[in-house]
Amino acid sequence: MKVGFFDSGFGGLNVLRAFQRLCPGVPTEYIADSKNCPYGNKPADEIIRLSEVNTKKLLCRGCGIIVVACNTATAAAIDYLRVKYPGVLFVGIEPAIKPAALKSKSGIVGVLATAGTFNGRLYNETKARFAKNVTVLATVADEFVTEVEKLGEQGLEGLPAAKLPRLEQVVRRRIEPLLSAGADKIVLGCTHFPTLRPLIEKVCAGRAEVLDPSDAVARQIRKIIGKSV
């Protein structure tokens, strides 16, 4: 079964690559809607419209499973898509708040995401259910999306070394306040953000663990494929 992935840009490639490492023989399609990036500051009805456009394209390419490889699009559109296309298997993305809350020793968890994700039902229901006993520091980091889109498909590997210090400062401005507040887990709540993980971990310098849900999503897709064949 062919698996389709879509995101507002290059961020969903982190999820796609995690899945390809896990299931290298499964055919995939990917749509990067960079023309409309970012999704995080758009109204919900516009995100739903764009998500449906991407879904239709992937269905035309023969995809039987569609991964909404965008936290913001998952928050705004996945319920709509599942109702509108009941014969299609959809997999969404949500911040790894549950493992962060369960593993935190300081009782303080930092979450980096877009405003669209923080306003979504999935995030708030997960937070209410699993993070009752921890303090969650929600940090909007829309500029991370912009920076990752500038990097393109190659990510940090294509960035000249002379430009790394500036990007590290962009990352540091968001991460240092979370560390200073005592966060010992930092959740990457946008599929663009794992591209910057090496810099985020450099800034953390062992003071906090960085949680990226890409591998967990890849395992979920593999599980769904197993049930559908």
Distance in Å from the first CA to the final CA of the chain: 8
Out of 23, 37, 60, 70, pick the active-site residue: 70
Out of 37, 60, 63, 190, pick the active-site residue: 190
Q: Is 70 a catalytic residue?
A: yes
Q: Is 190 a catalytic residue?
A: yes
The per-residue DSSP string of 116-143 comes to: HHHTSHHHHHHHHHH-TTSEEEEEE-HH
Q: Is 205 left (phi over 0), alpha (psi -120 to 50) or beta?
A: left
Phi, psi of 210 (to 5 degrees): -100, 125
Q: Is 107 left (phi over 0), alpha (psi -120 to 50) or beta?
A: left
Which of 187, 151, 191, 155 lies closest to 69, judged by CA? Answer: 191
- Token readout for 67 is 């991964």
- Token readout for 133 is 């006993």
- Token readout for 209 is 């663990």
User: Catalytic residue numbers?
Assistant: 70, 190
